[in-house]
Chain A
Amino acid sequence: MMGPGTAWYLSVAGFLFAVGSLGVLLRRNPLIVLLSLEIMLNGANLALITFARHLDNGDGQIFALAVMAVAASEVVVGLGLIVALNRKRVPLDVDRLSSLRG
């Protein structure tokens, strides 16, 4: 097997996931939050594919494809919501969308 070892791939996947989660936690613009979510999902996908190759088993790749499909749909819904919010002139700030407070 050529190229870097499995550990390297996993490190990149973990790094992507960490960057994504920091983005979700710290950024206030919902657009960026969605973008960060995508990065997290891609991190997870990379880990899935890595393991698929490591174990020489195709299941992980199929999982990754499924995750992509879900991610695409999620983006559609998320962007739709953001456009709807923007139309109503609601400020695009996740900290101010807090009407579900107990």
Chain B
Amino acid sequence: MTVAAYGAWICLLSPLAAAGLITLAGGRLSRRGSGYLASLACFVAFGGALTTFISLLGRSGSQRTAVSTAWTWISGGSYRSGFEVMIDPLSVFMMLVVAGVGALIVAYSIGYMDGDDEERRYFAYMSLFVFSMLLLVQGGNLLLLLAGWGMVGLSSYLLIGFWHDRPSAIAAAKKAFVMNAIGDATMALAFFLLIKKAGSLDFGILGGEYSSTVANLVALGLLGGAVAKSAQLPLQTWLPDAMEGPTPVSALIHAATMVTAGVYLIVRTHAIFEQAPKVADLAAGLGAGTLLLAGLIALVQVDIKRVIAYSTMSQIGYMFLGVGLGAYANGMFHLMTHAFFKALLFMAAGIVIHALAAEQDIRKMGGLRRLMPRTYLAFLIGSLALVGIFPFAGFFSKDSILAAAMDHGAYGYILWVAGLAGTFLTGLYTFRLLFLVFWGEPSPFVREHFHALKPDVPGVSLAAPVAVLAVLSVIGGWIQWAPLWHPVETWLQTVAEPTVSPTSWQEAVSSILALLLGLGGISLAFLYYGARRLAVPRFAFPQRVLEHKFYFDELYDALFYRPAVWSAKTLHRWIEGPLISDSARELGDDARDLGGLVSHLQTGLLRTYALAIASSVAVLAIVFVAVK
């Protein structure tokens, strides 16, 4: 094996080893020890990813793709799938993001979960989650990708429902699992079709020639999976409810793992989307729709984590917009910067929640700027990066997605306008949150409950990852500034060649407009919530619609849940009850009656039995002789 392959396998297996060790060690490992072990494993994974990255850097562009097979996993007929990892620029890029940001979040958890009753279980799940995501991005064929895909769904279910004594957490976990299962199913169907047509699930077959029907169906199936995992329209409803999990879990789901999987999937299988341009356009359209919808809903949310959750949906919408249009490198670049600043925002929000005795309602907050100035600074950096203000990370990544939209004809311009409107909304809802939480006078609730971080182990473990991510959110975007320099695009070129190439003036126009609109959103938020010069306008009807999240939950309730319950009840009343239950009971009764009749043959007298045997033998003997 090459050095790159060693790095990749270490990266993949060390979180799994940590999960196994924590599970097996049980009480022999101290609670904090399990946290240290999980963090160590994730940092080792990051080291492995870094090794692979450096050894790939030393190779020329065409030499950077390799598959390392451990053993043949499944073989049946002519079909064969190995247990193998893919080592190419795209998987290494994702490995770095997942393991790097994941490690910081797990380290942060040591402080956040300190004193929880079930810390060991938590860290075992977290390690499993990181492993699942690494399997997803490293899997060397579509089947392993699907395995990782399913395991990410499982570990998110376990973590969202981590506080299993809260009914709302259990409901949220189930909702996330079911929504994701829909996507898993459509993906599996697409894979069946691929096996039928190409006889294999290697990534290489995606570039083959397919009829447009097949390409469209496969792309649709993959898009279904991507949409479910990345919480895009129409399967987005699970994401805000997933906030029931502990805050680091939200950060992990939103920043490093899970929701970015859909974007990765589209880039990984871009060859099939390029053969099905209608479906790719649909992906971009869904992204644009989601980014507007989520931005609008975020305006009225009052839970600090839910506002950030909706902003994630909105930002993933941008990534879908980018990769749907064929701007793969831009989408992946935004994925990376988003991982930095979204993890930062969640973890800063986690510190706020921690300092306020687990309160998440922003109406009770206020004036935290003076009480926790460093957290305020981190949150401010994260917010500026999210809105895309120069020179923070989001500026470089988001604007090039918008520029790519301009290069896609009339449809592209519609998406471009949606994206720009989204920038304005982003500025508005992000700074509404910031001003409400940190500005103004401390509310009575804050004065009563506030307690600052102490410089002990939990405090440091909370503060240090936030500091690292704050730095990354500032400088993380500088590695690519289209069109001046674009190392990310060059790095990913061998895997996914972009199909759009915006000109410099398109880049400039998009950047300037997005920056201005973002600033406009911030100013409006300042007038309403910061300086409070203007009264916040009240519109009863739109507000009610937004507070009900455009009635998606109610719609799905009416469309799927209630008909299912109704039909189950009806079938139980008219079919199962009279036909199945009763007939089973009748059968049982009849069998017992028959047994009662037969039991009279048992006299208990030895000689009766002996006579029965003897006469039977005599009859048999006569029959035997007669037949002979």
The chain A residues found within 8 Å of chain B, CB to CB, are 21, 24-26, 33, 94-95, 97-102
Contact = CB atoms under 8 A, between A and B. Distances in A.
25 contacts: A24-B610, A25-B610, A25-B611, A25-B614, A33-B606, A94-B606, A94-B607, A95-B605, A95-B607, A97-B604, A97-B606, A98-B603, A98-B604, A98-B605, A100-B602, A100-B604, A101-B602, A101-B603, A101-B604, A102-B598, A102-B599, A102-B601, A102-B602, A102-B603, A102-B604
B454 interface: no
A41 to B, nearest CB: 14
B605 A94 contact: yes
Contact of A24 (B598, B602, B607): B607
Contacts of A100: 602, 604
A102 B600 contact: yes
A99 B603 CA distance: 9
Interface in B574-628: 598-607, 610-611, 614
Contacts of B598: 102
Nearest to A97: B606
A21 B617 CA distance: 12
A102 B601 CA distance: 7
A102 B603 CA distance: 6
A71 B604 CA distance: 24
B614 A99 contact: no
Nearest to B597: A102
Interface in B349-396: none
A80 to B, nearest CB: 17
Contacts of B607: 24-26, 94-95
Contacts of B610: 21, 24-25
A21 B615 CA distance: 11
Given A100-B604, A102-B600, 15 more contacts: A24-B607, A25-B610, A25-B611, A33-B606, A94-B606, A94-B607, A95-B607, A97-B604, A97-B606, A98-B603, A98-B605, A99-B604, A102-B598, A102-B602, A102-B604
A100 B603 CA distance: 7
3 A-B pairs with least C-beta separation = A102-B599, A98-B604, A102-B602
B615 to A, nearest CB: 10
A26 B603 CA distance: 16
Contacts of A95: 605, 607
A26 B600 CA distance: 22
Interface string B2-16: 000000000000000
A101 B610 CA distance: 15
B48 to A, nearest CB: 71
Tell me which of B601, B605, B606, B614 has the highest count of chain A C-beta atoms within 10 A of its own C-beta. B606
B606 to A, nearest CB: 5
A99 B605 CA distance: 9
Nearest to B618: A21
A21 B602 CA distance: 21
Contacts of A94: 605-607
B34 to A, nearest CB: 62
A12 B614 CA distance: 19
